[in-house]
């Protein structure tokens, strides 16, 4: 209630990117105050329930709702976000070298559509800065995924080298990795989703993870591939087949869309990736297709337009084992996690299911 009546009106009067940075820096600062993480967890934290605890990728998740990449690009507020009730979180997208990203303004709200358009362009401080920051963490309170990409100036022909460098620099600090080849805001990046370039890129990532695991004497950490919602069914089928063959542990479906169908706000004219409610149906369609194409054998993390427990449950029944939120957090505030997890428990009870895993892909059975 405080978010809707006090914080949100203030933040929504600010430039979206300034509000974004204020939120991240505020959470980072709050986590450093003795006792504040416990206070945040008490106020916002999701209920602990064995019904929602999930084992996936060899990792235990206390609940299936995570934070998508893009909010904490530089891993500045890992402890703060970890105290909000997320089951896991992504940091990044990070590139080998720091870069400014695209010219400002580059983030736009669409309140009546409950959407957000961004054309940030992988603005981040680079792998060296992220590694130093993550090295200072005493522990990873929740599973941490590192979302990796290529620098804008790197041609697609050598893009695999950027992803390889990201793994090499950050392998010690992530529980799993996400290969981002689907942002619409880096020129030609989405071309990496198809053809021999995708095969070469994923072989390179798998090879570097294998080398790092051998060096550390441990099991290779999993990596997933984040795909766009704007592919044709034929393109999607080829991409999914290549991902399966690569040794990737799963798929994140989906990134933002370049579609503008059904929007009412004047900011719809802005270029960039659209997230939020307008991408909800398409991302769920992609989840259904990927689940069907893989026979449910390749884990899926659902992302796109998840604002309620019902939205999350729909994606889970379509085939997602975990889900992620981002835009909903901006529109609904930090009580989102508690509301969503409580709602998931009620939906399981309604359907006579004992555990969230029973709901995964239920619509296909």
Residues with active-site annotation: 183
Asked if residues 119 and 271 have their Cβ atoms less than 8 Å apart, the reply is yes
Q: Which two tokens stand for residue 13?
A: 């009067």
Tell me the C-alpha to C-alpha distance, in Å, between residue 318 and each of 228, 263, 299, 364. 17, 25, 12, 7
Closest by alpha carbon to 144, among 168, 124, 121, 173?
173
Is 286:229 a contact under the CB 8 Å cutoff? Answer: yes
H-run or E-run covering 336:
helix 336-350
Spatial CA neighbour of 3 closest among 348, 330, 288: 330
Phi-psi region of 15 (alpha: psi -120 to 50; beta: other; left: phi over 0): beta
């Amino acid at each position: 209630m405080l978010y809707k009546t006090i914080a949100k009106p203030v933040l929504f009067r600010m430039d979206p990117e300034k509000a974004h940075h204020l939120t991240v820096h505020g959470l980072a600062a709050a986590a450093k105050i003795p006792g504040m993480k416990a206070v945040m967890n008490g106020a916002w934290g999701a209920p602990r329930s064995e019904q929602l605890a999930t084992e996936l990728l060899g990792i235990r998740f206390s609940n299936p709702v995570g934070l998508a990449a893009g909010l904490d690009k530089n891993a500045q507020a890992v402890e703060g976000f970890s105290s909000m009730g997320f089951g896991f979180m992504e940091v990044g997208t990070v590139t080998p070298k720091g870069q400014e990203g695209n010219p400002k303004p580059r983030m736009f709200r669409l309140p009546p559509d409950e959407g957000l358009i961004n054309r940030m362009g992988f603005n981040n401080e680079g792998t060296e800065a992220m590694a130093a920051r993550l090295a200072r963490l005493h522990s990873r309170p929740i599973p941490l995924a590192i979302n990796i990409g290529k620098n804008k100036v790197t041609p697609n022909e050598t893009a695999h080298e950027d992803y390889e460098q990201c793994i090499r620099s950050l392998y010690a600090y992530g529980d799993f990795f996400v290969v981002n080849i689907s942002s619409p805001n880096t020129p030609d990046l989405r071309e990496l989703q198809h053809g021999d370039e995708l095969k070469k890129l994923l072989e390179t990532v798998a090879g570097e993870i294998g080398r790092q695991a051998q060096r550390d004497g441990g099991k290779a950490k999993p990596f997933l591939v984040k795909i766009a919602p704007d592919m044709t069914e034929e393109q999607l089928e080829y991409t999914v087949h290549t991902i399966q063959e690569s040794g990737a542990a799963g798929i994140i479906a989906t990134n933002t869309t370049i579609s503008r169908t059904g929007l009412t706000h004047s900011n719809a004219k802005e270029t960039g990736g659209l997230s939020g409610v307008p991408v909800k149906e398409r991302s769920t369609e992609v989840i259904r297709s990927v689940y069907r194409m893989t026979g449910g054998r390749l884990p899926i993390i659902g992302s796109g337009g998840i604002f309620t427990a019902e939205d999350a449950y729909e994606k889970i029944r379509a085939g997602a084992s975990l889900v992620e939120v981002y835009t909903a957090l901006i529109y609904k505030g930090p009580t989102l996690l508690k509301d969503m997890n409580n709602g998931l428990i009620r939906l399981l009870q309604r359907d006579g299911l004992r555990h969230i895993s029973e709901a995964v892909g239920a619509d296909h059975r």
